[in-house]
Structure 1
């Protein structure tokens, strides 16, 4: 509170004047409320009916407290607390601080006119009228400041609560919660579900900066284990998203229906564990498929490539490389030779060896098994 409001025991009005003003308190409160309704559009409907009666009582109480101050019988603490709560309530009712400040200005003008009109006939000396005016507008300034503080604190509190709800929703999505749980979580967060979500993994330190440049509705977490950050991007334009992340160490999962975002997250996590070079998981589907069950893949390789096991390691490696390129290039010898940087005759020689080792090399089933077996380089 300002010095003018904090001071108690320094009356501005004598008891005769205060008594006269109290007699007109109800009428003054009604004039203040009516002026606010007429001049501040956001309150045109808010102050009607039962709400209007409540506000009238509140204005009457504030005016009564002000007269206590003016007579030196109170401090401004209670009024400041009420104004603080009023500011918080404005946020809950969806009104800006501008509307409330306008209401204070209108109320101050009308209250001063009514109070001054009652004080002068009551015999208030002209020299005291200036002090009365100073106290009146200092009081309004203090109430305005207290309401502004309440408004700001409530906005901050709601912002933190909203942030917590969004984080809770993101965790539910990554955990693969049921559609019913996800819908309830989205509703609590005030988040409009999109058609799809695309999960992006990146270092935690990059999560917030990247989040700020992505589509509205993107969800973010930056406190996962291993210093990992996650973005859940709604209805992403994939090429555009990849361009936006060009300068970041990101792994982009597939787009999935929003209630199945956990599938996008799982694929991105697996891609990151498979290779540090993967950015777009959609560009590496064969590797992801072949690495889905590494034990099964190892068994497949061992069985399919068993004929090579009896050969010297260097020979087996050369023949496997040749077999891989032959399968990928569908037996076109010149293309196989170019891929291996060898002469076409070398390819012909090696393929004759492979046909002896794999007599059923023309079998579709054998071709499928061998293609899978040699499908990942470096295995």
Structure 2
């Protein structure tokens, strides 16, 4: 039987994996860096040497660290490694790009890492099915840690930018309040010269991460609408499953472990969620919005519980 899923699944990886991969690490880094850039539309058109170097550095750090983790129970990202990916997320926010492109690039990196690791082992010896399962669990958990660090960096940068002045917050308030757009001159003064039309629907996630509660309310109503007709208990079960599934990058085993339910129960709930959400569950932007909404709901529940207990 395969080893149970744990918080550090890389401890179950075979010791010879790192030895198999390290000789070809420079070529692997170059291939992964090139592939994630070319396959991500938002990145493919960036003709900037610094961006290329940053991507290469991030891939180098990620693969080096993954190989260091093989066979250990260490946490995925000690502070100095985590800062690299926090910085990546912050850079996306500074460039006014959404987090979806970076998350899509990480998913691509996960597939390439799993493929490269599997082939490297196969060149040494026959690979058991259980080893591939362990490898898949380890890669999924590791990339989820990179995504979490990047998302934290993105959110932190947005909060910093929001604190630089009141111009953008004031514009968001005008838009969300429903009083209509400010005049050609006023809008220009708020967002800079010749901003063009601004549609709040295009910026709900960014506004939410800046702390705009009304943006969160609109986003929550929109994203949870497919569940609105369900019974409360059924709705809560599906929301909990969806939140765990998003955070664990679709790993049913990890979702089942977190929720203390049978994997078949997870499969049934996910089937129901797909009936309700359709292709949205495969859309990186929609998935990120759902994650933001469900995280916001969790924070609200914690605050309410704290107030009640007090």
TM-score, L = length of structure 1: 0.41
TM-score, L = length of structure 2: 0.50
Q: Which is richer in strand?
A: 1
Q: Which is richer in helix?
A: 2
> Which gives a bigger RCO, structure 1 or 2 (Cα 8 Å, sep 6+)?
2
